[in-house]
């Protein structure tokens, strides 16, 4: 499985691997697809076994409009209200649920069942017979989250209510081992969008909110896996350093390489980057940037996501047009428990900026951060209600980075599993007298 990376590209044979059920939800590389739970049966289901529950639940997991759609049904084997413990997914997509396997919750994994909600992990769910990738048959898991059981008895089947969702995630990947300058690294490819194939790029989608400009986001595709810390396995760390969007550029540390997947998924081709590179200085405090995600413009107006490795506040990227998409900062405290992780995104469709080889390029991101506070006062209340005549003050805040990115996640501690104190505010009158105060509950 190991081979040396030389001046020219090498092909590395890929091996099929499965993920233990207890690790699948935390495995890096993408969250798969989601389907909303509903009482109404999708029109794609033409045939199904007789359900034992009077309230079977249905849905459809689909990542992109052009991707495969997997319809499913959840049933209660012990009768209505006893808990959903039987799942059928139309893996062969023929609309007939009678020829698909009935899947039960994972044995030994705790389940939650209460009057208000229900949670369970189902699997493994096998790909159709004959569907092999790198010599293995893909498997998947489905995570049930039923948020509102109380609505099931009274909700009409012909109306859509948000009662829960089913997450459909891959339980497999392919990997190999490469050697670079005497250092071995595991590298893999993960079916991040859970569609029974590999090699899908992350796809941009645009949208417009009322009263705002055009924005975008990238739907999850497949991902490269990189054992960055040399532990011998792929892990989800606080900075997401062991996976990146699938595409033609793959970074090992700060160095970019050309990467491609064989058409039959049996090998990964990796070689030195043959084109020019632009060196970019991150300003004004680039040493605080731990990870960076950029959207890169490709021919014919396409956009790809890349995650260049950051070294001492600098990155190296192919020349061209870019947009800032995501940024993660590390604020180092005197003690490990005082470290602060800040994560941001930029979803506005701003004018692209360009990086050129052989020139001094800069990118503004990170600190210093600007806190913007807005307050909206409304007089009165609902006529005839107990709050009629009251004054309501709605206060909101946003934290902006030097590049306009919006920071929305703040975590602290050695494992970044704790939240810092909520921001506090004080309301003053025109003369500076304190009228009230409190904390921002949701940010």
- Among 39, 33, 35, 25, smallest CA distance to 149 is for 39
Average pLDDT in the chain: 90
Q: Write out pLDDT tens, residues 101-136.
A: 999 999 988 888 877 889 999 999 999 999 999 999
pTM above 0.85, yes or no: yes
> 400-423: b or e for each residue (b if 16 or more CB lie within 10 Å)?
bbbbebebeebbbbeebeeeeeee
pLDDT above 80: residue 31: yes
pLDDT above 80: residue 61: yes
pLDDT at 131: 93
pLDDT at 76: 95
pLDDT at 66: 60
Domain boundary among 170, 205, 236: 170
Residue 325 lies in a domain: yes
Residue 382 lies in a domain: no
pLDDT above 70: residue 158: no
158 and 289 in a single domain? The answer is: no
24 and 148 in a single domain? The answer is: yes
44 and 165 in a single domain? The answer is: yes
Q: Please count the structural domains in the chain.
A: 2
| Angstrom distance (rounded) from CA 198 to CA 192 | 9
Q: Confidence class of residue 382 from pLDDT cuts 50, 70 and 90? A: low
Q: Domain span at residue 304?
A: 275-369+399-422
pLDDT at 5: 44
Furthest CA-CA distance within the chain: 79
Domain boundary among 170, 196, 226: 170
Residue 429 lies in a domain: no
Q: Write out pLDDT tens, residues 213-239.
A: 899 999 999 999 999 988 999 999 888
Domain boundary among 122, 140, 170: 170
Quick check: 230 and 185 in contact, CB under 8 A? yes
Residue 350 lies in a domain: yes
Q: Where are the beta strands (DSSP E) in 332-403?
A: 340-345, 353-355, 361-365, 370-379, 391-400
pLDDT at 346: 95
Residue 177 lies in a domain: no
157 and 279 in a single domain? The answer is: no
Residue 374 lies in a domain: no
- Among 193, 207, 144, smallest CA distance to 349 is for 207
Residue 96 lies in a domain: yes
Average of per-residue pLDDT across 148-177: 83
> Which of 144-148, 173-177, 408-412 is the most confident on average?
173-177
Residue 266 lies in a domain: no
């Amino acid at each position: 499985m190991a081979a040396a990376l030389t001046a020219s590209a090498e092909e590395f044979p890929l091996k099929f691997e499965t993920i233990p059920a207890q690790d699948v939800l935390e495995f890096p590389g993408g969250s798969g697809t989601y389907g909303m739970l509903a009482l109404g049966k999708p029109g794609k289901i033409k045939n199904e076994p007789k359900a034992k529950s009077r309230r079977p639940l249905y849905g459809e997991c689909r990542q992109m409009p052009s991707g495969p759609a997997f319809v499913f049904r959840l049933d209660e084997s012990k009768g209505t209200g006893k808990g959903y413990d039987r799942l059928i997914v139309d893996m062969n997509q023929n609309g007939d649920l009678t020829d698909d396997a009935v899947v039960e919750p994972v044995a030994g994994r705790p389940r939650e069942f209460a009057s208000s909600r229900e949670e369970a992990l189902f699997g493994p769910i096998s790909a159709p017979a004959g569907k092999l990738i790198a010599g293995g048959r893909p498997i998947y898991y489905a995570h049930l989250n039923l948020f509102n059981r109380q609505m099931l008895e009274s909700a009409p089947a012909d109306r859509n209510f948000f009662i829960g969702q089913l997450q459909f995630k891959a339980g497999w990947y392919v990997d190999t081992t490469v050697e670079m300058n005497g250092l071995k690294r595991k590298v893999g490819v993960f079916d991040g969008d859970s569609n029974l194939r590999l090699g899908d790029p992350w796809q941009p989608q645009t949208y417009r909110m009322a009263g705002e400009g055009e924005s975008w986001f990238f739907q999850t595709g497949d991902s490269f896996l990189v054992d960055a810390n040399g532990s011998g396995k792929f892990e989800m760390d606080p900075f997401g350093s062991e996976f990146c969007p699938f595409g033609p550029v793959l970074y090992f540390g700060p160095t970019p390489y050309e990467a491609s997947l064989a058409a039959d998924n049996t090998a990964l081709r990796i070689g030195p980057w043959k084109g020019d590179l632009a060196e970019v200085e991150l300003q004004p405090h680039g040493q605080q940037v731990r990870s960076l995600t950029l959207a890169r413009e490709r021919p014919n107006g396409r956009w790809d996501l890349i995650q260049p490795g950051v070294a001492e506040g600098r990155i190296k990227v192919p020349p061209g047009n870019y947009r800032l998409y995501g940024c993660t900062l590390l604020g180092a405290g005197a003690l490990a428990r005082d470290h602060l992780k800040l994560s941001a995104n930029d979803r506005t469709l701003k004018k692209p900026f360009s990086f050129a080889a052989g020139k001094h390029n800069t990118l503004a991101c990170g600190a210093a951060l600007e806190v913007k506070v807005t307050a909206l006062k409304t007089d009165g209340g609902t006529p005839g209600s107990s709050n009629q005549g009251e004054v309501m003050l709605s206060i909101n805040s946003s934290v902006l980075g030097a590049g306009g990115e919006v920071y929305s996640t703040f975590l602290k501690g050695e494992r970044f599993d704790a939240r810092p104190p909520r921001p506090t505010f004080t309301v003053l009158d025109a003369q500076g007298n304190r009228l009230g105060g409190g904390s921002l509950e949701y940010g």
